[in-house]
Amino acid sequence: MSVFDKALNIWNKYRVLRYLFSGGTGFVVNVVILYVMTDVFGIWYVISGVVAFVVSITASFLLHRIVTFNYDKDGTVHGQYSGFFVVSLINLLINEIILVFSVEVLGLWYIIAQTIASIVIAILGYFVYRHVIFREKRDSASTTE
């Protein structure tokens, strides 16, 4: 078995790696938009944070649906996106609280503050996305994951 095959087996076996990839991509989208809006266009970091977070949730949703949870059941995307959006709004509130507290009270650079907020949200979000938004339907005969 080649190194590539081993890596592919690990990728397929460990959902957490796929979650980190999908969430990491959403994080990059978030931080790039936050930086460009704040440092290039001079928009207040709080407003930039909201816009960046909202834009990144669509990218995150698609990646989590397709890559992380391999969820391809027909007819569920609208309901899932609605649930994902509601969770994302809660995450946005958590994100902004951490962002403002970290910048205004702790004196951290807003990019570091956003990184901290993203880590907290990622840890909490995994369990919500896995067990609520993208939960798999289980039949009565199946008890294994």
Whether the Cβ atoms of residue 7 and residue 22 lie closer than 8 Å to each other: no
pTM of the model: 0.66
State the pLDDT at residue 137: 53
Tokens matching residue 31? 């931080």
Residue 62, CB-side half-sphere exposure with 13 Å CA sphere: 6
Tally of CB atoms within 10 A around 142: 9
Sequence ranges of the domains in the chain? 10-133
Rounded CA-CA distance 72/95 in Å is: 29
Q: What is the DSSP letter of 129?
A: I
Q: What is the pLDDT of residues 84-100, one digit of tens each?
A: 888 888 988 998 899 99
Which residues have C-beta within 8 Å of that of residue 9, sequence separation ≥ 6?
1
Rounded CA-CA distance 12/119 in Å is: 23
Rounded CA-CA distance 92/85 in Å is: 10
Q: What is the pLDDT of residues 96-127, one digit of tens each?
A: 899 999 999 999 999 999 899 988 988 888 88
Q: What is the pLDDT of residues 20-59, one digit of tens each?
A: 888 889 889 999 999 999 999 999 998 998 899 888 888 8
